[in-house]
Amino acid sequence: MPRFPIQMPQLGESMAEATVREILISPGDEVKADQNIFEVETDKAMMEVTTPCSGKITEIAADVGTSYAVGSHLAFIDATEEDAIKAGLIRSQDNAEADPPATEEENEANLHFAIDEKDMIDPSAPLEVKPTVRDGLPVPIRSTVYLSPRMRHRMEELGLNSADLAGLPGSGAGGRVTVEDFEKFISDIEQNRTTEASPMRIAVADSMRRSWTRPLATVTVPIILDEVLAHRKSLEAKPGITLYAMRALAIAIAEDTAVAGRLIGNRIVHPNAIDIGFAVEVADGVLVPVIRDVEKKSLNELQAPYDELVRRGQERKLPPESTGAGIATVTNVGPFGITAATPIPLPEQNLVLGLMAGRQTPIWDKEAGSFVPKMESNFILSFDHRILDGGAAGRLLQRVGELLQKPADL
């Protein structure tokens, strides 16, 4: 029977590599089409690699704990010609005969696509660059201080960036970190206990570092949640506060999409859709599943997909269509008792809305002429100051608060 490689698939839009976490089959196993055979970890989720067709596993080329680029050979399978044709691994003889061979002129016309054999990459070889980030490349260097070419080259060799040198005093002119300082720093690190950072931890770190290259600012508005809590109590399904906030934020953004735009050159690029993400805490990081077109769906319509994404996010098995970038994120840190924070928006986003812990607060009631207890929470909006000023950000946050006072309309 013909032998075919099982390759690392493109499991996400921005994925370039994944780490094998579990091998679910052994050489000699008979498998069916679309059977899970590897569990792999990307920077966003745990995913499965499946068989392209039915057959017999003849060899496993991958190792647990090793990262492989998309297209790398993970295993090999023997399959019948019929099964291989159904899976598109080979073409039937009839189809092959239907395509005439390329002429000499056609071959010459395509010479600019030719690759010299010495330049070809072995797809069976695992990646050796560590640490890596979302796009599978060494963490790029972004620094506002001078780094000599020699220093940059040495840092690139180790996959480090200037943020890793924060707090390292330099002995060079003007406090510049020299290569000697750097090598001593690396040597000292080896004397400490270290643990391997997970792909997700590295991805989060890189994302936050890239976000911080922008001028970020934060505003806070206290919002009364009594109406939301009363509405939630009246429903059979109990939407979380996060879902109410997502719906209110989406409506507020839809009224003026420039607030969620991105400044590119001298133009503000408005979003084509109001796709809102929400933070889900997982081991060693945070995932941000995205719900599409939130402004077009009622609170009731959002409930089921939200609950499903929370569950799948906690399992680190998000569907690919829910992992693309949104235009804003809502993060609820209230369950941890946090009353103030400065959330950082993702690099591709301008806004992140943080929900803090609610507290019973005495609020003056004009009609009653006295203070009455109200459940109040600080809503904190962090934003790209190039797009919004404090006044505009404050008005957006106030609008979110207004919408939450009429939760039945959400």
CB 218 within 8 A of CB 388: no
Residue type, 341: A
Instruction: Check residue 112 and give its pLDDT.
Output: 37
Q: Any idea where the domains of the chain sit in the sequence?
A: 3-119, 129-212, 214-409
Q: Bigger pLDDT: 343 or 41?
A: 343
Instruction: Check residue 223 and give its pLDDT.
Output: 96
First to last CA, the chain: 60
Least confident of 29-33, 37-41, 320-324: 320-324
Short-list 121, 271, 282, CA closest to 199: 282
Instruction: Check residue 109 and give its pLDDT.
Output: 43
Q: What is the mean pLDDT of residues 15-30?
A: 88
Q: What percent of the chain clears pLDDT 90, i.e. is strictly above it?
A: 46
Quick check: 142 pLDDT over 60? Answer: no
Quick check: 367 pLDDT over 90? Answer: no
Q: What gap in Å lies between CA 216 and CA 388, rounded to an integer? A: 10
Instruction: Check residue 397 and give its pLDDT.
Output: 96
Specify which residues 407 forms β-bridges with.
none
How many CB atoms are located within 10 Å of the residue 59 CB?
A: 15
Instruction: Check residue 102 and give its pLDDT.
Output: 53
Q: What is the mean pLDDT of residues 95-120?
A: 48
Q: What gap in Å lies between CA 276 and CA 278, rounded to an integer? A: 7
CATH class for domain 3-119?
mainly beta
Instruction: Check residue 143 and give its pLDDT.
Output: 38
Radius of gyration of the chain (CA): 27
Quick check: 311 pLDDT over 60? Answer: yes
Q: What is the mean pLDDT of residues 365-393?
A: 93
Query: Domain 214-409: what homologous superfamily?
Result: Chloramphenicol acetyltransferase-like domain (3.30.559.10)
Question: How does pLDDT run across 206-263, given as a tens digit for each residue?
Answer: 888 888 889 999 999 999 999 999 999 999 888 999 999 999 999 999 999 999 998 8
Instruction: Show the tokens assigned to 309.
Output: 């994404």
Q: What gap in Å lies between CA 359 and CA 225, rounded to an integer? A: 10
Quick check: 371 pLDDT over 70? Answer: yes
Q: What gap in Å lies between CA 293 and CA 327, rounded to an integer? A: 11
Beta strand 328-332 with 285-287 is unpaired
Least confident of 214-223, 280-289, 325-334, 386-395: 280-289
Scanning the structure block, which residue is given the tokens 């990081």? 285
Instruction: Check residue 135 and give its pLDDT.
Output: 39
Q: What is the mean pLDDT of residues 93-98?
A: 56
Quick check: 130 pLDDT over 60? Answer: no
Least confident of 278-287, 355-364, 376-385: 278-287
Question: How does pLDDT run across 385-404, given as a tens digit for each residue?
Answer: 999 999 999 999 999 999 99
Quick check: 373 pLDDT over 90? Answer: yes
Q: Is 77 helix (H, G, I), strand (E, B) or coil?
A: strand
